[in-house]
Structure formats: structure tokens, C-alpha cells
Amino acid sequence: MTSQTQEHAPATPAAHRAVLRVDGLSVEYAGEVRACVDVSFTLRRGEILGVAGESGSGKSTLITALTRLQRPPAVTTAGRILYHGRDGGPPVDLVTLDDKALRDLRWTSLSIVLQSAMDALNPVLRLGAQFADALRAHDRRMSKKEAWQRAAELLAMVGISADRVRGYPHQLSGGMRQRAAIALALACRPDLVVMDEPTTAVDVVMQRQILSQVLRLRDELGFAVVFVTHDLSLLLEVADRIAIMYAGRIVEIGTARALYTGPKHPYTQGLRDSFPPLHAPLRPLSGIPGSPPDLRRPPPGCAFHPRCPERFDGCDRILPELVPAAGHEVACLLYPAGGDR
């Protein structure tokens, strides 16, 4: 069923324009919980792909699988994660890559910013030293002086004044440290940055500053972003395309605009309507009844059917596939394969 996603994607001479192709990825915990099931998507160069979901949706599992940061008992049980390098050579599969090759790829091609990245900076090392370490680890020809110079440039890039290079992380506010973490992730010019709730721990004004910087830097440097968060209203503003996850599966994927103006999946509709508007006229909203499923005992058929306002006979038996529907893809029996509604 996953290959279907690919088949319906526009025929792909533009494959080299993709930086990441995830194909049928499944992750299980100790063989009991299927936290990620058959996830497929393509990430184009310079694109920001938002992944939205609630707790238990599998979005965090997806992140750790993409970056190979997962630890037992999590195991990738199926699928491929094909990374296309800048050089246009054959893609590498991150799932099967050995540790050495993976290390070479990290930072230079693929980096990650976590929600708690601000706490990941070493408190006893000067900021510049941490940057210099990372830079010189990947480019041994770089001198210490050059590395510190570059560190100052990188910090300036995220609006941290150059004199802070000699400072320690605790001298920066939380928001500033998060920016420093983003600068560090960008230090080796990666093609792809994976961000897991990068602004959840900071206030809205700082969030706006950080996102504004990410957007500007993306335009300047051309990296692609996988941006994971529970805050769909935020994604609708910053992402180019958005994937909605529920119970470990992508239930809908499309451009931010299409998802906002015409969400197809009842879950997407409910999720969108869970964020009251800031300016548009108010109307009574109701969120989604019930609560997210327990992944140890996922409901049969469509996992959303117990909460779905539009369920009908069959939803509790048939697992819907991700099929194209009016410009995006949706996995819901309301939109049968082939029949474009």
C-alpha cells in the first residue's frame, strides 16, 4: 500500500530534487507497540515538512527513527529511509547504514534540534569551544582560530552577539540557548535539519523570533526541515507541507494551505478546529471527543474510528490507505482509492 504513495506522486524525473524519501517505515517497541506504521513521504530540497500529532501519534518515534537516535527496545522493523546527497550520487539507506558512515553523515548532511536542545549545550565549556569542537571534528584542516571565527559567524547568524562566543551557556537565556543550538546544528551546512518541538519550551515571542530566523536561514542556506510539533496552528504558518499523524500512521499529507482550507480527514478537521482563531469571527468549537488510543491495543480498522464523527459501517474493519484526494493525500474510507472527491 505504501508503494501506492509513490505511484501517485508525480512521475519523478525530479527525484534528485528530493533530499529524503521515506518508504514504508515501521518502528516497534519490544515487538509490542507499533509506534510508527508504514510511514512514507518525500522531502524536497529546501522544503519544510511539518509533522503534527498528539501524544501517542508516533511523531517522536518517527524523529528518532529518521535520525537513527532510537535505542532499544525501539526497533525499525520495515522500510527504507533514502537520503540523497548533494553530489547527486546514489542514495544511501539510513536504516542499514553502518555506524561509521552514519557518523560522517551527521552534522554535515543531517542534524537535529531537540526540544531540550538548549540543555544539551555543555555547561562547563565556552560556547565557542563547543562550536569549534564540532567544526573541527568534521573538518580536520580547520585551525582552532578559524573554528572560533566561524563560531562567532554562526552565532551572529542567529542574532547572538560575537562577544558571547567566549561566554558560557548559562549566561544566555533559554531562548538564546535554543538559538545557539540551532546555529550549532547548522554549523556544518547540513542538507536536512530535523527539529523536534524546537520552540515548545520557549515563549511565543521567542518562538516567533526563532521561527523567523529558521525561515530566513532556510532561504539563505537551502536546507530542508522536518518540523515535528503538536501545535498545528504553528505548522500552518511555517511549513510548506504538513503530514498529520494519528496512532503511528500518516492520515493526511498536503500543502499547509490545502490542509487549512480543505482538510479531508475528519481527524485533520478536528485538529484544525481545536485551535481557536485569533482574528476570525468566533464560533463554538468542540475539539475531538474521546482521547488518543492506547497503542498497545490499537482499535481495529481505522484507528480514529472510535472518535470519528463521520464513521460508518466498515471503518472498524477496513484499514484505509493513503490515496490522493484533491491535491493532497488522505487515508480515510470517505475517500476511496481512485474515486476523487
Partner 1 sequence: MSEPVLEARDVAKHFPVGRRGVVRAVEDATLALLPGRIVALVGESGSGKTTLARVLARFYPPTSGEVLLHGRAGTGRRGYHSDVQLIFQDPFGSLNPLHRVRYNLERALRLHHRTRDRRELERQVLDLLERVSLSPAGDFVDKFPHELSGGQRQRVVIARALAVRPKVLLGDEPISMLDVSIRLDMLNLLARLRDEDGLALLYITHDIASARYLCDDIVVMYAGRMIEGGPKEDVIARPRHPYTKLLIESSPDPGRGEDDRAALFDGADELGEPPSLVNPPAGCRFHPRCPFAMPECEQSPPPRTDLGGGHWAHCWLHQKGRAGDLASTTHAAAPALRAAGPADAPGAADDCGDGKEEGP
Partner 2 sequence: MKVRAGSAIIAFFALVAIFGGWFSETVLGLDPRANDIQAIAQPPSGEHLLGTTQFGQDVLAQVIAGASGSMFVGFLAAAIGTALAVLVGVTAGYFGGGVDGVLNFLTNLFLVMPVLPLIFVVAGYLQGTGLWTIALIIGLFGWAGGARTLRAQAMSVAGRDFVRAMRLLGESNRRLVFFEVLPHLTGLIASMFLHALIGAVLAEAGLAFLGISDSAAISWGTMIQAAQQQSAVLRGLWWWFVPPGLCIALIGTAAALVNFGVDEVANPKLRVVRTRRRRIARSEAA
Select the binding partner of residue 326 from partner 2, partner 1, none (C-beta < 5 to 8 A, by kind): none
Closest CA to 307 of 54, 28, 117, 91: 54
Select the binding partner of residue 49 from partner 1, partner 2, none (C-beta < 5 to 8 A, by kind): none
For β-strands 110-113 and 92-93, DSSP reports them as unpaired
Cβ nearer to partner 1, comparing 4 with 213 = 213
Closest CA to 62 of 249, 211, 316: 249
**67 contributes a contact to partner 2 by CB under 8 A:** no
For partner 1, which residue of 94, 165, 258, 325 counts as binding (CB under 8 A)?
Answer: 165
Residue 230 DSSP one-character state: S
Which of the ranges 6-14, 51-59, 142-150, 216-224 carries the binding residues for partner 2, by CB under 8 A?
51-59
Cβ nearer to partner 2, comparing 140 with 296 = 296
**29 contributes a contact to partner 2 by CB under 8 A:** yes
**205 contributes a contact to partner 1 by CB under 8 A:** yes
**33 contributes a contact to partner 2 by CB under 8 A:** yes
**297 contributes a contact to partner 2 by CB under 8 A:** no
Cα 309–Cα 312–Cα 318 angle in degrees, nearest 5 = 115
Select the binding partner of residue 39 from partner 2, partner 1, none (C-beta < 5 to 8 A, by kind): none
CB 268 within 8 A of CB 242: no
**Strands of the chain, DSSP E:** 18-29, 33-44, 48-52, 74-83, 92-93, 110-113, 192-196, 224-229, 241-246, 249-255, 323-325, 328-330
Select the binding partner of residue 192 from partner 2, partner 1, none (C-beta < 5 to 8 A, by kind): none
Residues paired with residue 26 on neighbouring β-strands, in sequence order? 78
**58 contributes a contact to partner 2 by CB under 8 A:** yes
**286 contributes a contact to partner 2 by CB under 8 A:** no
C-alpha cell, 326: 484533491
Q: Distance (Å, rounded) from C-alpha 339 to C-alpha 115?
A: 41
**243 contributes a contact to partner 1 by CB under 8 A:** no
Size of the residue set binding partner 2 (CB under 8 A): 15
Which of the ranges 82-90, 103-111, 166-174, 294-302 carries the binding residues for partner 2, by CB under 8 A?
294-302
**309 contributes a contact to partner 1 by CB under 8 A:** no
Select the binding partner of residue 199 from partner 1, partner 2, none (C-beta < 5 to 8 A, by kind): none
Residues paired with residue 83 on neighbouring β-strands, in sequence order? 20, 92
Map grid coordinates 511549513 to a residue. Answer: 239
Helix (H) or strand (E) holding 257: helix 256-261
Residues paired with residue 323 on neighbouring β-strands, in sequence order? 330
**29 contributes a contact to partner 1 by CB under 8 A:** no
CA distances from 177 to 100, 160, 183 (A): 29, 9, 10
Q: Distance (Å, rounded) from C-alpha 37 to C-alpha 253?
A: 15
Size of the residue set binding partner 1 (CB under 8 A): 58
- Amino acid at residue number 296: R
Cβ nearer to partner 1, comparing 86 with 216 = 216
Q: Which residues bind partner 1 (CB under 8 A)?
A: 54-55, 126, 159-161, 163-168, 170-173, 175-176, 203-209, 211-213, 215-216, 230-234, 236-237, 260, 270-280, 282, 284-289, 291-292
Interface with partner 2 (CB under 8 A): 29, 33, 35, 55-61, 73-74, 294-296
